[in-house]
Chains A and B, each alone.
Chain A
Amino acid sequence: MSNVFIAFQVNEESRPVVDAILADNPNATAVYSPGLVKIDAPNSLVIKRESIEEQLGQRYDLQQMQVNLVTLSGHIDEDDDQFTLSWNH
C-alpha cells in the first residue's frame, strides 16, 4: 500500500475543495507549506462534486479544480460527479 496525493494552491477557491476531500476521505491528511496544501491518502482518494457544492454553497464543475491544482500522484478516474486517484489500476 502506498500513498496517493493531490496538492492545491492555498486560496479561497480551493478551500471548499480541500474541506470536501477531508470530509469524504477519513484517512487523508493535509500538510500546509507556504502557498501550498498537500493531501496524502493511503491507496486511494475520492473527490465528489456534491460534497464541494455543499461546502461552497454554489454549483461546481469538477474541472474548475484544475485552476488551483498543483500536482498529484496516482491513476486518475474522472467523470462529471467524481474524481478518483488510486493505485488500483
Chain B
Amino acid sequence: MDTTVKQPAMNRNQRMQALTRDLAWQVRQPEAVFPARSLEGIRIHDWSALRQPLQPTLEKYWKLQGDKDKRLYAITDAFAQNNGQLGLSDARYANAIKLLLQAFSPIEYSAHRGYARVARQLGLTDAAFQSADHLRHNQLEIHATSLFNKYFNGMHSYTEWFDHHWMLSVAKSYADDLLSAGPFEFLVAMAVGFNPIISNTLYVSYMSAAADNGDMSTSSAGLTAQSDKVRHQAAGLTLVEFLLKQDPANLPIVQAWIDKWFWRSVRLSSLVAVMQDYMLPFHSHSWQEVWAMYVEQPLQKVFETWKPLGLTLPSNWPQACEQQAHVSHQTWLRLYRYSAGLPLHVWAPNAAALDWLSKKYPGTFDAMFRPHMMGLAHQIAQGQRPQEKAAPVLCGTCQLPVPGMEGSTALSQAKTLQGRCFCSLPCQHIFNLEPEKHSAQAAYSLQRHAWSMPVTQSSDSGLFDGSQDQHNFEEWNGGMQHP
C-alpha cells in the first residue's frame, strides 16, 4: 500500500481560485458571447487580473447571508411584538421612514436589476451576488417599514409615487439613468457614486440615529444591508483600479463617468441630508459632519491613491463640498413650501432644533436660514398652511427644483425649453453628454406636474400639526406628547 501523502490545505485565495475561477468555462468566442463588453469603448486584456475583496464562495455566502437575516428578523419580530412604533422619539420621525421607502428602496430594486444585467453582459459572477444583495436590501426595507405602514400615512403607494410624483423624480431619474447605462458605466456609477455617497451616509450614520430615535426595526435593516454594501464598495474600488490598469484608453472614459456619477449622487444625497438634519427629533451628527467623516475624507484618500493611475478628483468636487453647509436647509424649506402636494408631513423646527442647527452650522445657519425657519413657525401660529400644489420647474438632469423658477410663468418657460433648464453647470454638462437620453427623462418629468395631486391623499400631505399621524400617536401614548 502506498504511503498516503497529506496535501497541504489551500489558503483562502487558492481556495477561491480552485472553487470558482478554475471551474469556469473557456469561452472561445467572447465577442459573440459578451458583445456588450465592447459597447462603451472600454478595453480589457486580462479578466483574471480582477480581484474581488471580501467575496465569499457561494456556499459561504448563503451561510453568511442566512446568519444576517436570522439576526435581523429576531429584532424586527420583537419590535413588532412589542409595539415598537410606540417608542419612537416622536411621530415626526416617521417621515424619514416614508422618504426612505419612497425614494431609496426602489433604487435598491433598480440596482438589483442592473447588476443582474451586468453579470450576464460582462460574464461577471460577482455581479450576480451583488444583484441578490440588492434585492435583499429592497425586501428588507419593505419588510422593516411595513410595520410602520400599519400605523402611519405616506407609505401605502410608494411604488406609484416613485413612478409618478415629481418629488421623487430625483430618485427615479437616477435609477433610470443607471438602468439605461452600459455595463461598465453602471459598475463605476455604483462604485464612485451610489456606494460612497448614498450607502455610506444613509445606511451608516442615519441608521445609527434611527436607533437613537427608537426605530430598531429600520436601523437594524439598514445596518445589515450595509454589511453587503461594504463588500460592494471594496469590489467597486478594486474594479476602478482594474479598469485603469488594463488599458490607457480607459482613463478618459472612467474619469468622465466618475465626474458624472459623483455629481448625480451628490444631488440625490440632498434627501439624505434633510433626513439627517430635520427629521430626527433626537439629534445625532449633522449632515455636514456625516459628509466630512464618511464621504469627503475617505474619498479624498481614495483619489490620492489613484493619482498614479491618472485619475483626479471629480471636476465638480469643490462645488459639491461647498453645498453641504446649505443643502439640508434649502431642501427642508422646499419640502415645506410644496408640502400640500407631497406624500409626507412637514413642520416648523422647534427652538431646541434651531439651537442645534445653529451650533452645528456656525455662522451660516443663523445668517442664511434661521429667519426663514422662524418664519415658518410664525405662519403656523397665524393659521397659515402651505397651499402650493403646482410642482416647481425641475432641473433637466437631476430633477431637483431649479432655484428661482417657481410659478406658472416659469413653468410655461420651462415647457418651451423642453426640460433644458438646469440647477447647475455640472448638471448641464451631464445633459449635453447624452442629450437624447436626458431629454426623454426631462419630457417625462414635465408631465408629472399634472399627476402629483391625484396620487396623494390629503391625509398623507401637509403640516404635521393637526395631521392624523400626530393625533394617532398622541392617542396611542395615552394623550401624552413626547418632548
Contact = CB atoms under 8 A, between A and B. Distances in A.
Interface string B2-17: 0000000001110000
Interface in A49-77: 63-64, 66-73, 75-76
B71 A67 contact: yes
B301 interface: yes
Contacts of A44: none
Contacts of B211: 34-36
A80 B204 contact: no
B64 A34 contact: no
B71 A34 contact: no
A7 interface: yes
Contacts of A34: 208-209, 211-212, 219, 284
Instruction: Name which of B56, B203, B211 has the most chain A CB atoms within 10 A of its CB.
Output: B211
Contacts of B233: 71
A86 to B, nearest CB: 10
A79 B53 contact: no
Nearest to A9: B223
A24 interface: no
Nearest to B67: A67
Interface string B297-331: 11001000100000000000000000000000000
Contact of A35 (B13, B68, B207): B207
A13 B74 CA distance: 15
Nearest to B56: A63
Contacts of A76: 53-54, 234
B68 A67 contact: yes
Contacts of A13: 71
B227 A2 contact: no
A79 B13 contact: yes
Contacts of B224: 9
Interface of chain B: mostly helix, strand, loop or mixed: helix
Interface residues of B, number: 39
Nearest to B195: A71
Contact of B230 (A35, A69, A87): A69
Contacts of A78: 12, 53-54
A79 B203 CA distance: 27
B60 interface: yes
Given A7-B204, A78-B54, A73 B227 contact: no
A37 B7 CA distance: 41
A80 B12 contact: yes
B305 A89 contact: yes
A88 B229 CA distance: 23
B226 interface: yes
Contacts of A64: 64, 67
A71 B54 contact: no
Interface in A1-49: 2-3, 7, 9, 11, 13, 33-36
A66 B204 contact: no
Contacts of B54: 66, 76, 78
Contacts of A70: 203-204, 223, 226-227, 230
A33 B231 CA distance: 22
B369 interface: no
B305 A87 contact: yes
A63 B229 CA distance: 15
Interface of A: 2-3, 7, 9, 11, 13, 33-36, 63-64, 66-73, 75-76, 78-80, 87, 89
Given A9-B224, A35-B223, 18 more contacts: A9-B227, A13-B71, A33-B284, A35-B211, A35-B216, A36-B204, A36-B207, A36-B211, A63-B60, A66-B54, A66-B56, A66-B64, A66-B231, A70-B226, A70-B230, A72-B230, A72-B234, A73-B301
17 contacts: A2-B301, A7-B204, A9-B220, A9-B224, A9-B227, A34-B209, A35-B219, A35-B220, A36-B207, A66-B56, A66-B230, A70-B227, A71-B226, A71-B230, A71-B294, A73-B298, A89-B305
